[in-house]
Amino acid sequence: MQSISILGSTGSIGVSTLDVVARHPDRYRVHALSAHARVAELAQQCERFRPQVAVVGSATAAAELEALLRAKDIATDVAYGPEALCAIASAEGCDMVMAAIVGAAGLASTLAAAKAGKKILLANKEALVISGQLLMDAVAAHGASLLPIDSEHNAIFQCLPAGYTRSMPAHGVEKILLTASGGPFLTRDVATLNDVTVEEAVAHPKWVMGRKISVDSATMMNKGLEVIEAHWLFGAPADKIEVVIHPQSVIHSMVSYADGSVLAQLGNPDMRTPIANAMAYPERIASGVAPLDLAQIAQLSFSQPDFDRFPCLKLAYDALRAGGTLAAILNAANEVAVQAFLDRRIGFRMIDQLIQRVMSAIPNRQASDIGALLAEDVEARAHAEALISP
């Protein structure tokens, strides 16, 4: 029996993780759950899965959750704040951690899990984007394991040879091919993207996701962040990571080998597949996902991304090639820009323009610890906000 702490349990990844847990009560139990502010949903999850600890974002939310749990005689302990997140990520009673908190907010708890030597199921790509070297060093130094949950990176993980050592030449790997759906605006007239509404941007044609990640998919910043994540996970330089538009979202990614072989992982677009793969690795368990019917799909198509349509993708490649703290600056500016768009303070095409201005304005530095990285994050956010509301 393995125990799991799920950071971000009320989000789409957290809900899917709990679905897999529920299918295998003989294998998994929940040690802890966390949600920032969705108290009622978290209380329902606690009622069903009876974790030892539940963590929320504020004292007010904690008091509300405490009242809901006590009314149903549920003995789950309640805590709040970033330190509590780190505590459940590193707790002795926890074997693995689902890191599914969106954005920079998930960085500290993911690092805490690494330093505690946990099996980390990484759904928070920003943790690697912001602190790639620090996180990979912590995983190596403390004997932790890092398994990717993003459907693309999990597909790559499945297509690489067992025992892959983050050295492409040593394993005959020629290139990593990251597939992308292209989002809701793949064929829309570029000249009309200034008029994109929030409702249009969050309506992804294939995946059911949160609002922030849905906007990232529409701009393809999500894929840009995945390029940076792939660099750290698999030791791949920028020119060995190729993005391929694949609207059907059936092939989740591919690996090209020196002998001309290309291995691909296929499946229906459902996050329970990579979640189950990572939870049980190296075993395979049922995920609840329907088997793929290739005859019904009938056609798979591919194309190259257009940087004029998706300038955020180019910005991410630029940040990866530059190194230093530029990826952290990119991520912070993007989080501010996307939230401003969701709040209807800026237009859709202002997102990439704002990110580019912040990347140009803040010096690219070297950071040796999390404090320096978080300082860069704060500076970039402040600059982005100042550009939005001068």
13 labeled binding residue: yes
377 labeled binding residue: no
204 labeled binding residue: yes
47 labeled binding residue: no
153 labeled binding residue: no
Written as one letter, the residue type at 370 is: I
Distance in angstroms (rounded) separating the CA atoms of residues 93 and 225 = 32
DSSP 303: B
Q: Which of 96, 86, 85, 84 is nearest to 30 (CA)?
A: 96
Distance in angstroms (rounded) separating the CA atoms of residues 102 and 318 = 23
154 labeled binding residue: no
5 labeled binding residue: no
10 labeled binding residue: yes
The strand pairing partners of 366, in sequence order, are: none
Distance in angstroms (rounded) separating the CA atoms of residues 79 and 58 = 9
Distance in angstroms (rounded) separating the CA atoms of residues 237 and 322 = 12
182 labeled binding residue: no
> If residue 254 lies in a helix (H) or strand (E), which one and from where to where?
strand 251-257
217 labeled binding residue: yes
Q: Peptide bond before 274: cis, by omega within 30 degrees of 0?
A: no
- Residue 192's alpha-carbon distances to 188, 195, 352, in angstroms, are 7, 6, 15
Q: Which of 144, 106, 102, 115 is nearest to 13 (CA)?
A: 102
- Residue 308's alpha-carbon distances to 150, 183, 219, 302, 311, in angstroms, are 26, 15, 11, 18, 6
Q: Which of 229, 1, 19 is nearest to 96 (CA)?
A: 1
210 labeled binding residue: yes
DSSP 11: S
109 labeled binding residue: no
Place of tokens 């803040």: 362
151 labeled binding residue: yes
Q: Which two tokens stand for residue 331?
A: 């991520």
> If residue 147 lies in a helix (H) or strand (E), which one and from where to where?
strand 145-148
Angle of the 125-141 helix axis to the 370-388 helix axis, nearest 10: 170
Query: Residues comprising the binding site for Mn(2+)?
Result: 150, 152, 226
Query: Residues comprising the binding site for 1-deoxy-D-xylulose 5-phosphate?
Result: 125, 151-152, 181, 204, 217, 222-223, 226
Query: Residues comprising the binding site?
Result: 10-13, 124-126, 150-152, 181, 204, 210, 217, 222-223, 226
Query: Residues comprising the binding site for NADPH?
Result: 10-13, 124, 126, 210
